[in-house]
Amino acid sequence: MPFARVWYNPVMSDKDPSSGDLGDGDRIAKVLARAGVCSRRDAEKLIAEGRVTVDGQKLATPAFKVKAGAKITVDGKLIAEPEKARLWRYHKPKGLVTSHRDEKGRATVFEQMPASMPRVISIGRLDYNSEGLLLLTNDGELARKLELPANGWIRKYRARVFGRLTQADLDGLLRGVMIEGIEYRPVEANLDRQQGGNAWATIALKEGKNREVRKLMEHIGVTVNRLIRISFGPFHLGQLKEGELDEIPSKVMREQMGIKKGVGWA
């Protein structure tokens, strides 16, 4: 995990960071996320594994708050100062894992990034056999904001399924369903066309649970054999070709997210 040799720019409590003292300032998990090291959840894992130190001492809690002047390291390397938040669109092909490391040794999305790219994380995921729009950012806090279901951002997919499909089948998802003890919120889906033994449908959802579209389609008796994400909130796949990457201009990002210049991630 590469990190630039710079210091985090805000002050540290003079108490032992391993003691769990909360102090003042930002929580370490938030600091790591803002620096683009990882998500808050992954930061908690790094701390639990003893890989994060503050002023030379291993942290024991993700609740510890960091102030200016602290030396924060991950795996012995000083973390980079938070950069301006940036956002990219990537057309993920099938056959790539949306993680930085894969226990099966499969190729990952992040291995495909150009050498000039800073370390980025994905906003949401697409499974190995799914394709289409994947948003990437260098800012873990921005990723967290965009992923939260409470923000109401709709993710749209085009799904090709094997089997006979009717609009009535899809309308049954509008009420929400329970699958294997897991509750899935209402989903809007429209039948595009039936073509021989396959059908195409456009599906819009807010939560994006693990393999949600595939499980919903299995629930109504068909099997997904191709899945393409075409939009995530206001950001669209558009004409972006498979494997292509482009950065969303800061002004567009602010406008689409309703952020005023000079505030938040501007």
Give the contacts of 130 (CB within 8 A, at least 6 positions apart): 92, 94, 227, 228, 229
Pairwise CA distance, residues 162 & 120, whole Å:
35
C-alpha to C-alpha distance for 67 and 28, rounded to whole angstroms: 10
Determine whether 24 is an active site residue.
no
Which amino acid would we find at residue 231? S
Half-sphere exposure of 234 (CA within 13 A, CB side): 10
The residue type at 221: G
Q: Which of 26, 42, 127, 192 is catalytic?
A: 127
H helices of 89-244, where?
Answer: 140-147, 167-171, 212-219
**Token pair recorded at residue 213:** 């579209």
Q: What angle do CA 183, 155, 162 make, to 5 degrees?
A: 75
Q: Helices 140-147 and 40-48 sit at what angle, rounded to 10 degrees? A: 120
DSSP letters for 30-57: HHHHHTTS--HHHHHHHHHTT-EEETTE
Q: Which residues are catalytic?
A: 127
